[in-house]
A and B are shown apart, each in its own frame.
Chain A
Amino acid sequence: MSTVSDIFGRDDADGDEMSRPRLISDATADFLLSGGAVDDPVAQDLAQVLAAASAPGRAEELMREDAALVAFSAAHLAPIPAHRRRPKIKTLLVNALGLKLAAAALAAVAVGGLAYAASTGVLPDPLNPGPASKTPGNQSTPASPTASHSPGGLRTTGEQMEGWCTAYLNAGSAEEKNGHLTADLVAAAGGEDRVDDYCVALVGPPKPKPTMASPKPKPKPTMASPQPRADVTIPPRPSVSPRPEPPSRRTQPSARLSAR
């Protein structure tokens, strides 16, 4: 049943600026707002505008999707274990002191924090770079029960090197790490301060890293043929359109961006 007031919708509300019959009745307006399609020609024009405004998302509107994913991933990371929380300090110490002294310094930091380490003289004086005088808790000779100490490296195989690297990287404490520093490994890496990078390039990082899309610093190139790191790859976004519907055509006025 359709009367004049159904079509034109007189409104009794106060303050209404339209005193003449309305183009759109309340019922039609409610219907359009809920995403319905209509027959009335005036309303059809309006419906087409609303449909265009609510068309499915286009690629140009998704330019910051990857950034949002980074934020999402960061918000869902597991907390990083304590001894890995200060990579910058580790790098600084390794570069400044050489690995054995740096290991001792790291041990001191882990035990009592930076203040403790500084008070025991383990940390380098920034004005006087050089080997620290005290090395608390340091073992003088590293224990390497399984290593073959052939200086010439004649019996050192790639397998052995990988084994030393894996043990080194997965060692829990600095002293333990020290214990896996065989002469051949250090020689292959080109120095104690390069063992970290060398081993990571050889056998990969010791523990699964958080899957963030932001790039991490790559290991330095080394003498051994490095295995490629297990970089995280984000699947490429489809070039055409996002799910669920391609937004290309205007001829689907009812294809809505939002669902009810």
Chain B
Amino acid sequence: MVEVRREAENADDLSSALNAARNGDEQAFRVVYRLVHPGLLRYVRVLVGEDAEDVVSEAWLQIVRDLSRFSGDGAAFRGWASTIARHRALDHLRHHRRRPALATPPEEMPEPVTDKDAAELALDGLSTDQAVAMIASLPMDQAEAVMLRVVLGLDAQAAAKVLGKRPGAVRMAAHRGLRRLAENLRRPQRSEVGEHGE
């Protein structure tokens, strides 16, 4: 399958670029950045909202500072970078209110559909930002679990390590997040009291 091969190439790309970057190769660092930063940015956006760029910039300062001491492949790097970004985000939240500029207002959610084709059309134009905003509207533990698994590509063990939780708890949170998302797709979130904060 083409998609599987492309993903495998991505993983190899990151690992080999990482090795070169550890030796000071600047172009290799650019590759690392382009493969990893967008995921970090989207993940941190779920945590801190609009200030995500600043927070992730700070995370990169720490990442490049400690890069020579990091040993591991691309997957391990994603987990390590995610941990650093998460700490920065939580630190940021201790001093700043979250600015949830990306929570999708109900009127912007995709229309509820019963027809499968119509559903595909509605979701076909879904942008990355909209999709991330939908995930961001989940309870925080569910949103984090989904982002780390799906967007940062961490496996269950690695995601649990980033979150400092047991793998079973992270799996449950991720499952609940997916189910809630599926529910929201069938009928968009209105300001129903029972929907939030569960």
Contacts and interface: CB of A to CB of B under 8 A. Distances in A.
Interface of A: 13, 17-18, 22-24, 26, 29-30, 32-35, 37, 41-46, 48-50, 52-58, 61-65, 67-69, 71-73, 75-76, 211, 234-235, 237, 242-245, 247, 250-252, 254-260
Given A45-B119, A49-B123, A243-B13, A29 B178 contact: yes
A49 B131 contact: yes
B29 A72 contact: yes
Contacts of B33: 62, 65, 68-69
B34 A259 contact: no
A250 B64 CA distance: 33
Interface of B: 3, 6-11, 13-14, 21, 24, 26-27, 29-31, 33-35, 37-39, 41-42, 53, 57, 60-61, 64-65, 67, 74-75, 78, 116, 119-120, 123-128, 130-132, 134-135, 146-147, 149-156, 171-172, 174-175, 178-179, 181-183, 185-186, 198
B78 A65 contact: no
Contact of A26 (B31, B38, B123, B175): B175
Contacts of B3: 37, 252, 254-256
22 contacts: A24-B182, A32-B178, A33-B150, A42-B182, A44-B120, A45-B182, A49-B135, A49-B181, A53-B42, A53-B132, A54-B153, A62-B37, A64-B53, A69-B30, A72-B64, A211-B26, A244-B35, A250-B125, A254-B3, A256-B7, A258-B152, A260-B11
Contact of B179 (A24, A56, A61): A24
A107 B156 CA distance: 62
B26 A72 contact: yes
B109 to A, nearest CB: 11
Contacts of A243: 13, 31, 34-35
A245 B126 contact: no
A53 B30 CA distance: 22
A30 B31 CA distance: 29
A73 B30 CA distance: 11
A46 B178 contact: yes
Given A54-B151, A258-B152, A72 B21 contact: yes
Contacts of A45: 119-120, 123, 182, 185
Given A41-B116, A52-B126, A69-B30, 13 more contacts: A46-B178, A52-B123, A52-B131, A54-B39, A58-B38, A61-B41, A62-B37, A75-B67, A235-B27, A237-B30, A244-B13, A255-B6, A258-B152
Contacts of B42: 53, 61
B8 A48 contact: no
B128 A52 contact: yes
A202 B3 CA distance: 55
A53 B150 CA distance: 8
Contacts of A64: 53, 57, 60
B37 A68 contact: yes
A29 B175 CA distance: 6
Contacts of B78: 258
Contacts of A23: 179, 182-183, 186
Contacts of A61: 37-38, 41-42
B150 A71 contact: no
Contacts of A55: 128
B117 to A, nearest CB: 10
Nearest to A260: B153
B178 A33 contact: yes
A37 B4 CA distance: 11
B8 A259 contact: yes
A107 B43 CA distance: 54
Given A52-B126, A73-B26, A75-B64, A259 B182 contact: no
A47 B175 CA distance: 13
A45 B122 CA distance: 10
Which 10 interchain pairs have the tightest Cβ spacing?
A258-B153, A57-B38, A259-B10, A254-B3, A52-B131, A259-B11, A242-B34, A53-B131, A76-B24, A61-B38
